[in-house]
Amino acid sequence: MSKLRDAARNQNCMVRIPGICNFNSETTVLAHYRLSGTCGLAMKPMDLLGAWACSDCHHVLDGRRNTAYDRSTLDLMHLEGMCRTIAALYKQGKLP
């Protein structure tokens, strides 16, 4: 497991999908953002392109749970969560 994926353990969810987020830091994992050119079939993007997400937010982002949110809105929430995650990693001294 990479240091960035491992760093997600017991962190607050940074995606925070309204009405979905369980706010349970014990379920937090790194949810990779799928961006064209950074991933492919059976290949995840680099770990820097991810957000700390609780299990419920992660299920929605990965399409395992349906919501009323459209894909563009979910992508924006994921990107905002990724920015919050990068900022938290920087503050923790885990990024240069």
Catalytic residues: 32
Contacts of 2 (CB under 8 A, 6+ apart): 47
Cβ-contact 31, 57 below 8 angstroms: yes
The H or E element that residue 50 is part of is strand 50-53
**The pair of three-digit structure tokens given for residue 77, joined into one six-digit string:** 């929430």
Cβ-contact 34, 45 below 8 angstroms: yes
φ, ψ of residue 83 to 5 degrees: the values are: -65, -45
